[in-house]
């Protein structure tokens, strides 16, 4: 295919679909590094293809483009993201507040230490690059994974959230935060420069404290052994 300057991997995939194989299946949306839809394995590394330049990753004039790792394949370069999002729910990675639209707006300081911690983990756009790079996910398909646990940590540090106890129980099961071996593949490859390993270390501390104080239930969630 014709080589151009400033060509991205997404450009390559698009050219192939338009000129060589009309049936090629792949995902993209914004193509400017905002949505995370175009994540694929490029020469074995999970990347946003719209933000990966061919001349930066080409080796010996060869490029290998594969669907994102650790996810079931639908077709060609498109994976089934269902398990990734189900784990987001299983880790209680969603906000549960106690106020309604009739209550005054909560005032939060963006500079409070806890808010800074929550903010540091909050920019996740669910691209699943961390999930694809995690070897624990590879070895234990039940593992909640870096993204879901990172979100749980961010919410645990949100002072408006009221689901703290259930969330800790959710992440303390046999597929939870304790499975992380701190390999930091997630942190290495996250395009938003998040660090799920650091978040998971925080969850480990929170769970340990809760356990020692007797605040965790005797039985875990459905994933618990």
Partner 1 sequence: MLEVRLYLAQRASAAIMAPLVLIHLGVMIYAIQGGIDAAEILERTRGSFFWGANYGLFVIAVSVHAAIGLRNILREWLSLRGIGLAVISWIFFAGLLTAGLRAVAAVVLS
Partner 2 sequence: MKPHRQQPLYLAFLLHRLSGLGLALFLPFHFYVLALALEGNAELDQFLHWSALPLVKFAETGLVFLLAIHLFGGLRLLALENLPWSNSHKNYAAMALAGGFFVACGFLLRAF
Neighbours of 162 (CB within 10 A): 12
We find the least distance from the C-beta atom of residue 63 to partner 2, in angstroms, to be: 13
Residue 221, contacted partner among partner 2, partner 1, none, CB below 5-8 A by kind: none
Sign of the CA dihedral running 153, 140, 79, 60: positive
**Contact 13/49 with Cβ under 8 angstroms?**
yes
Structure tokens of 104? 């005054």
Q: Write each residue from 111 to 140 as x if it is in contact with partner 2 (CB under 8 A), else as -, in one continuous string.
A: ---------------------xx-x-----
Of 95 and 139, nearer to partner 1 (C-beta) is: 139
We find the least distance from the C-beta atom of residue 3 to partner 1, in angstroms, to be: 42
- Footprint (CB under 8 A) of partner 2, residues 177-196: 181-185, 188-189, 195
Residue 46 near partner 2 by CB under 8 A: yes
Q: Which of 59, 101, 213, 218 binds partner 1 (CB under 8 A)?
A: 218
Q: Which of 27, 47, 92, 204 binds partner 1 (CB under 8 A)?
A: 204
Residue 133, contacted partner among partner 2, partner 1, none, CB below 5-8 A by kind: partner 2
> Token pair 């919410």 is at which residue?
155
d(CA 78, CA 38): 9
Q: Which of 14, 157, 164, 179 binds partner 1 (CB under 8 A)?
A: 179
Task: Point out which span in 5-13, 28-36, 81-89, 172-180 binds partner 1 (CB under 8 A).
Answer: 172-180
Residue 184, contacted partner among partner 1, partner 2, none, CB below 5-8 A by kind: partner 2
We find the least distance from the C-beta atom of residue 67 to partner 2, in angstroms, to be: 14
Q: Where are the alpha helices (DSSP H) in the chain?
A: 9-19, 54-57, 82-90, 113-120, 129-133, 135-139, 146-156, 164-171, 185-189, 196-212
Residues sharing a CB contact under 8 Å with residue 22, sequence separation 6 or more, in sequence order: none
Q: Which residues pair with 212 in a beta bridge?
A: none
Residue 156 near partner 2 by CB under 8 A: no
For residue 6, the Cα-to-chain-centroid distance in whole angstroms is 28
């Amino acid at each position: 295919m014709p080589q151009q300057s400033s060509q991205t991997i997404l450009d390559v995939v698009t050219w192939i679909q338009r000129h060589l194989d009309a049936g090629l299946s792949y995902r993209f949306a914004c193509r400017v590094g905002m949505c995370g839809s175009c994540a694929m394995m490029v020469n074995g590394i999970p990347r946003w293809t719209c933000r990966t330049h061919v001349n930066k990753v080409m080796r010996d004039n060869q490029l290998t483009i594969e669907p994102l790792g650790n996810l079931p394949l639908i077709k060609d370069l498109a994976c089934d993201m269902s398990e990734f999002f189900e784990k987001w729910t299983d880790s209680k990675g969603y906000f549960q507040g106690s106020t309604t639209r009739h209550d005054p707006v909560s005032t939060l300081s963006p500079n409070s230490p806890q808010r800074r911690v929550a903010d540091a983990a909050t920019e996740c756009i669910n691209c699943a690059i961390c999930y694809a790079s995690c070897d624990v996910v590879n070895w234990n398909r039940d593992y909640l994974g870096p993204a879901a646990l990172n979100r749980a940590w961010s919410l645990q540090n949100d002072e408006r959230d009221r689901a703290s106890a259930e969330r800790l129980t959710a992440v303390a099961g046999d597929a939870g935060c304790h499975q992380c071996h701190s390999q930091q593949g997630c942190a290495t490859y996250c395009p938003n420069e998040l660090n799920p390993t650091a978040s998971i270390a925080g969850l480990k501390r929170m769970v340990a404290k809760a356990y020692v104080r007797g605040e965790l239930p005797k039985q875990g969630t459905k994933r618990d052994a």
